[in-house]
Amino acid sequence: MNSRQRVLTALDHRQPDRVPVDLGATAVTGMHCSIVAALRDHYQLERRPVKLCEPYQMLGLVEDDLQRAIGVDAEGIFRGNTIFGFPAEEFKPWFAPWGQDLLVPELFNTTTGGDGSIYLYPQGDTSIPPSGQMPAGGYFFDAIVRQEPIDEDRLDVRDNLEEFGPLDAGLLERIVDGVKAAAKTGRAVVLWTPGTALGDIALVPATFLKHPKGIRSVEEWYLSIAMRPKYIESIFRKQVEIALANLAAINDACGNLIDVAFTCGTDFGTQNSQFCSVATFGALWLEHYRAINDWIHAHTKWKTGKHSCGAVAPFIDSFIEAGFDILNPVQCSAAGMEERALKERFGQRITFWGGGVDTQRVLPFGTPEQVRRQVRQRLEIFSPHGGFVFNAIHNVQARTPIENVVAMIEAVRQFNGAAR
């Protein structure tokens, strides 16, 4: 099988020739730019600055030579706008505070505060207040909440829809160019679809807007789920209407060049519990997720993916009912997310894209042998009968020992070699 066939076979819950691998195809399955550089050194690839493809989490672009060295089977699209509202293109040099030479997008414009914090600006506009802050000694940006005072009598759904609208010609062209380039690699093409994330708190602060209106505080958003459910529901309903038109435009231009559409990164789980009840999920989200997934399944061959961290086992039946084909990141360290139980209960109905190694404790703080042992165990549990794409649990973070990252990669390689 080639990479694309391997991923599609796994997504069809059939046994591929080996377990497919994703490291870098999305903003939740990637690696910090410092880890990308260290892997390039380990595999003795050409020494050059890593390109920054996702500035919020400071993720590095995993280029073709490193993808081949690792054995990656999925190709992502990073040609739309970043979370700070500018495209990842026209790269320029930037020296990171941890001592790494990077190539960053042209509109990645920063200033430094008196305490050493680095500030990043929406759409690169330094004439307005920043929307992102990297604290001194940090390795990624936090959103700066720019919440205007809320007047209950003047709340307007349109304020929380400002970021959603018809894809402009330039953005659509960049997405289409990215899809076409990705399709030529022979890997499965993975697109994070624009405008389909419903209430993703990474997006609520609107770090990409110069002057966001509406509800932009994460705390206020969570309160609104209980206090203003009709307002939230109205946002979702109009957002989906816009999103379906944009999906139609993308499908008209790309069609079956796309294999996987990750549509939403809203987290429903904490380490030990959930952010809302299953009933609230059913009342606010289920209908709208189903509308997106039903449209995709009726008009394309794309598989649809849902990202949600945390203890989400109580929601998985609802995710399946909503039409999702894929769940990521499969946080097995959270309460009720024991991997064997997940596979036995849901493994024939949804694909687990992730769950390959614990990125909270084992990968950053364990020994290489502990990493190899856990990876092997997860592969043995998740891989039978397909329905599994290997990835770490969320992004591989800065300061993770490179020998542990290599141990993870080599454990997958050895497992796949033994399987053949």
pLDDT-derived band of residue 419, with 50, 70 and 90 as boundaries? low
**What residue ranges do the domains of the chain occupy?**
3-30+66-82+145-419, 31-65+83-144
H or E stretch including 369?
helix 368-382
**CATH hierarchy code of domain 3-30+66-82+145-419:** 3.20.20.210
Nearest to 259 by CA among 44, 57, 20, 59: 20
Region 252-265: mean pLDDT is 97
User: According to the model, what pLDDT value does residue 43 have?
Assistant: 98
User: According to the model, what pLDDT value does residue 256 have?
Assistant: 94
Show Cβ contacts of residue 292 under 8 Å, excluding neighbours closer than 6 positions.
Answer: 196, 240, 243, 244, 247, 263, 304, 323
Burial 65-97 (b: 16+ CB within 10 A, else e): ebbebbbbbbbbbbbbbbbbbbbbeebeebebe
User: According to the model, what pLDDT value does residue 129 have?
Assistant: 97
Please provide the average confidence, as pLDDT, over all residues in the chain: 97
Task: Report whether 179 contacts 254 (CB < 8 A).
Answer: yes
Whether pLDDT at 80 is above 70 = yes
Backbone angles phi, psi at 113, to 5 degrees: -85, 170
Backbone angles phi, psi at 121, to 5 degrees: -120, 145
Whether pLDDT at 200 is above 60 = yes
- Residue for token pair 């305490």: 115
User: According to the model, what pLDDT value does residue 420 have?
Assistant: 56
pLDDT > 70 in the chain, percent: 100
**Integer Cα distance of 46 and 101 in angstroms:** 14
**pLDDT tens string 371-390:** 999 999 999 999 999 999 99
Region 56-64: mean pLDDT is 98
**pLDDT tens string 307-365:** 999 999 999 999 999 999 999 999 999 999 999 999 999 999 999 999 999 999 999 99
- Across 273-345, the runs of DSSP E, i.e. the strands, are 303-307, 326-328
Backbone angles phi, psi at 413, to 5 degrees: -60, -45
User: According to the model, what pLDDT value does residue 79 have?
Assistant: 82
User: According to the model, what pLDDT value does residue 386 have?
Assistant: 98
User: According to the model, what pLDDT value does residue 306 have?
Assistant: 98
**pLDDT tens string 204-254:** 999 999 999 999 999 999 999 999 999 999 999 999 999 999 999 999 999
User: According to the model, what pLDDT value does residue 163 have?
Assistant: 95
User: According to the model, what pLDDT value does residue 222 have?
Assistant: 95
User: According to the model, what pLDDT value does residue 400 have?
Assistant: 98
Whether pLDDT at 266 is above 90 = yes
User: According to the model, what pLDDT value does residue 130 have?
Assistant: 98
